[in-house]
Structure 1
Amino acid sequence: MPVVCLLAGLLLATTHGVSAGGEIRRSDAPRLVDLVREAQSGVDRLTAQRDRLVSAVDNHHGGSPGATAALQAITRRSDQLAAQAGLNPLRGPGLVVTLNDAQRDAEGRFPRDAAPDDLVVHQQDIVAVLNALWSAGAEGIQVQDQRIIGTSAPRCVGNTLLLGGRTYSPPYVISAIGDVPAMQAALTAAPLVTLYKQYAVRFGLGYTEVPGSAVELTGYSAPVRMKYAKPAGPLGY
């Protein structure tokens, strides 16, 4: 018994020294319940902020039936203009025109009398096809995987095409939806397209027209707001 009491006393003295007089099982780490309460408090605070912002938006637009009707009318008008502006996908009968650089013959040679510029598709060739298709009343046109709208500007950079900030290598695929016979007639009558076809025969450039009953065009997805344009006159005309 004296030995057991001595050991117990020694253990108590050691524990007191280690804890420095405090609670040895105490921890400063936050408890899980405290973390949950803090997170819930944050959610409640953000929810209240959201409700205030929603109320501010409603009050800004009047929050009245008249304001709601006006917004609905604007939305309907926006949807109509989106289709006309080429923002929506389109599917229907159309024509697919493909332009390609000249290819080497079986012996790996180009025509001897050809200059380097004679063997590649140029910007003017692509624009000539686009203009002919538009003049024939095309409902929508797509180059490669991009829909063409009023602000689209195909540009040639070397032997590649720059469109919408992206570069493409030939072959260049131009898809159009509309009256197929009218578009084919317009391509036949276009002087620059006729000149390209002559180069295609002479130097081996690629040119094909493939009609289709279900040509698909993607919708234009990039922002359409102009960053640097400004009205040309006092009335914006």
Structure 2
Amino acid sequence: MRLLTGGVFALAGLIFWTSFNTAHGTNIRTDDSMLRLSDLIQERSRKNAGLDDSTAGMRSQVDALARRDSGNTAAENKKLADLEAGAGTRKLTGAALTVTLADAPPNATAKIPGVPDPQPNDLVIHQQDLQAVVNALWKGGARGIEVMDQRLISTSAVRCVGNTLILQGRVYSPPYKVTAVGDRGALRKALDTSPAIQNYLQYVNAYGLGWKVDQHDTVTLPGYSGTVDLHHAKPVG
């Protein structure tokens, strides 16, 4: 029995020492530890951005060499260019709309009589708000969409954790900008008729969430330059 009791105390001591060593003698539940985690995430995001730029440069060189030595006909090269444009890997220039969404002020109160005071979740941009804008713009015939500084492709996923956006390995904070190239009238109509956006605009009117739509005569969206992880694919053409 004494041997068993001694073993329990030894195990408890080992757990305590492991926890202390992991925390380096600090309180792992403090805001300071969360700030360090935030700094780590931001640093990783900056590294990912640098790797994306490096990948884009190398891909451009590889594509140039492939075209030079491919022996393709002009018709084949045109078909390839059309496929690249559809995949979002080429720059796209044209008339555009930019939608900007922003959190409400942290001390916001109800702006409409009879509306209850807001809860914290009522004052921030959520994943479904961004998705509603992107989906409406695609429905409106967008030829290409950029969220913040990244081009969307078929495998892109707009995800939010708290009030931060995680897109293709990089982290962004509000305000969020979504730019779409296409027929501006059709794009605006799609925004105006989206039920999900109409719901969001109720919070804009009630609590002061940010909503702004700007028109551009000409905008150039970058081509997507990151990696593509496909689980299923089939040849086109």
TM-score when scaled to structure 1? 0.63
Per-residue CA deviation, residues 156-204 of structure 1 (Å, 9 max, x unaligned), is: 1111001001110000000011111111111110000011111011011
Aligned mates of 1:207, 1:231 — CA distance in 2? 37
**Cα separation, 2, equivalents of 1:150 and 1:130:** 12
Count of aligned positions: 162
Counterpart of 2:87? 85
Distance 2:144 2:128 in 1: 20
**What are the superposed Cα offsets for residues 21-57 of structure 1, whole Å, 9 maximum, x if unpaired?**
xxxxxxxxxxxxxxxxxxxxxxxxxxxxxxxxxxxxx
Q: Counterparts in 2 of 1:62-81, with a 5 A limit?
A: 69=71, 76-81=78-83
Distance 1:192 1:206 in 2: 15
1:164 corresponds to which of 163, 168, 174: 168
Equivalent of 1:116 in 113, 117, 120: 120
- List alignment gaps of at least 5 residues for structure 2: 1-68, 111-116
> Matches of residues 177-216 of structure 1 in structure 2 within 5 Å?
177-216=181-220
Distance 1:176 1:68 in 2: 33
Using the TM superposition, give the Cα deviation of residue 230 of structure 1 relative to its aligned residue in structure 2, in angstroms. Answer: 3.9
> How far did residue 77 of structure 1 move?
3.6
Q: Is there any run of 5+ residues in structure 1 with no aligned partner, and where?
A: 1-66
The match for 1:125 among 126, 129, 132 is 129
- When residues 189 and 88 of structure 1 are mapped into structure 2, their CA distance, relative to the original with a 3 A threshold, is same
CA distance in 2, matches of 1:115, 1:190: 25
| RMSD, aligned α-carbons | 2.5
Could you say which residue in structure 2 is the equivalent of 1:174? 178
Deviation at 1:90, TM superposition (A): 1.3
Q: Percent of aligned positions with the same letter in both sequences?
A: 46
Q: How does 1:51-70 map to 2 (within 5 A)?
A: 69=71
TM-superposed CA distance for 1:222, in Å, is 0.8
Report deviation, 1:110: 2.0
In structure 2, how many angstroms separate the alpha carbons of the residues matched to 1:231 and 1:191? 33
Change (3 A) 1:148 1:115: same
Q: Which amino acid aligns with 1:110?
A: A
Structure 1 residue 79 displacement after superposition: 2.6
Counterpart of 1:175, as a letter, is T
Local SS of the residue matching 2:215: strand
1:151 to 143, 149, 155: 155
Mapped partners of 2:185, 2:70: distance in 1: 46
Structure 1 CA distance for aligned equivalents of residues 200 and 165 of structure 2: 17
- Describe the SS at the equivalent of 1:223: coil
SS at match of 1:182: helix
Among candidates 217, 221, 233, match of residue 217 of structure 1: 221
**Amino acid in the other structure paired with 1:151:** T
The 2-side partners of 1:77 and 1:156 are apart by 36
In the alignment, structure 1 residue 100 sits paired with structure 2 residue 102: yes
Alpha-carbon distance change, 93 to 68 in structure 1, aligned in 2, over 3 angstroms: closer
Larger Rg belongs to: 1
- Aligned-partner Cα distance in 2 for 1:96–1:175: 4
* Deviations 1:185-234 (CA, angstroms, capped at 9, x unpaired): 111100000111110110110000001101221110012252xx1469xx
